Structure 1
Amino acid sequence: MESATAIAGHATNTTLGVLSIAQKFSKSAAVVADSITPFVPLMSEISNIVNEIIQLYQTAEHNKRICGSLLSRATSAETAVNNLKIRRLENEDMFRSKEYYKNFQKLVAVISKIKIFIAEVSQIKGLRKFLVAKSIEGEFQELTSEFDGLMRVMNFTMA
């Protein structure tokens, strides 16, 4: 049988080992939390804008197909951002990248442009709709191209 001193020593070593692992994990979590912190407001902003886009789509009177296509893109971005947030430990390197942060800001800006475009195009009707059809198509192409490019650069998949 082991002596009480040996058992106590083993228990102390085990406890110290567990505490050391817990401390390392805690430090890792704190580092990841620090690296994701600047992104949190941007993530929230994307979510808020997408909710506004959903409301606009639901009340759209015209150009529903165009609005729906842009809505799909915006919701795919929101899903990608939510997955990124959930997998923040795996994506720590991206959260430390200034370039990734700039691209995230650009994504917020383009989703905001999409919201404005949907708000405008969903209310165009009648003769005016035909008069501005080319500019609508051009702006739609520009927005989708910018959005799709950012999604590729950020390694987000579109559903």
Structure 2
Amino acid sequence: MSKSKRLDKAAEIIDKSAEVMTGMVDAFKSNIPNGTTQAIVTVAEAVAPFLPLAALVATLTKEIVEAYENVQYNKKTCSALVNRVEAAETSIKALMRQKEENLKNFRDQNYYKTFIRFTNCLKQIKKLFDDISQLPKFKKFVSSASIRERFEKSIKEFNSCSNDLNLAISIATQDQLNKDLIILHDDMIEMNKFLHKIEGGITDTVNNTETIVNKLEIQNNEIKIIVENIIEQNKRLTEMN
């Protein structure tokens, strides 16, 4: 199953999980008395919409970490992306554990929208990861500044969402972004050298092939002349006889 299909399947499962969770909350609410236990229902209701999003973060993180094990290109830059995604997952887990402390945020519609923005940002980071770690995809962008632009845009959005969600992510800073951009720059230089070497090797092979073909054509012409001379000589001998 392709990665896109797995993500679609995961999204489908997450949506169903959200429906189940809502049903569980409703059932739980109808079977408990008013009073102190009502607070439990209030927390569960507030957190329920965030559970599918947290699950999506976990899914994206798992796929990126697994993909990193086989990365051969731009590995340092990919590592920087993995570090951010893993830090995001860890912070989200802590957020979900501290439900009561964050109840005010879970009730905030703007907080929920920002959480959605954050998951969309992680999707873009995963796509960027896929594009720069696979040679055929990378070659489409190497001649432009689009990779740097996408990288910087994604990380700035990551940092912005992290701050708006009050997530404890120590690397969500401009200073770390600057360091990561240097890493990206170094990786880009190495990749350009690598691609130039590959293209140079292909050019040399083509040139060598053309040289061989030219030599064969010359030899073929020489043989043709020799054959024609032999035919002419045989013709003269025949006429003399």
Task: Show the counterpart of 1:27.
Answer: 38
Aligned to 1:14: none
User: Which structure carries more relative contact order (alpha carbon 8 Å, separation 6+)?
Assistant: 1
- Bigger Rg, structure 1 or 2: 2
Alignment of 1:6-25 (within 5 A): 24-25=35-36
Gaps of 5+ in 2: 1-32, 171-241
Q: Which residue of 2 aligns with 1:5?
A: none
Shift in Å at residue 93 of structure 1? 0.4
Which deviations, in whole Å up to 9, do the C-alpha atoms of 1:51-105 show, x marking residues without a partner? 0111121111101111111111111111111001110011000000000000000
Residue of structure 1 equivalent to 2:66: 55
Q: Is the 8 A contact 1:32 1:89 kept in 2?
A: yes
In the alignment, structure 1 segments of 5+ residues that lack a partner are 1-21
For the 8 Å contact 2:141–2:147, the answer to whether it is kept is no
Aligned residues, how many?
137
Aligned mates of 2:143, 2:107 — CA distance in 1: 43
Task: Say whether residues 1:99 and 2:110 are aligned partners.
Answer: yes
TM-score of the superposed pair, with normalisation by structure 1:
0.79
TM-score (norm 2): 0.53
* Cα offset, 1:148, TM superposition: 0.8
Q: Which residue of 2 aligns with 1:121?
A: 132
Contact 1:46 1:111 in 2 (8 A): yes
Aligned counterpart for 1:80 among listed residues 69, 91, 108: 91
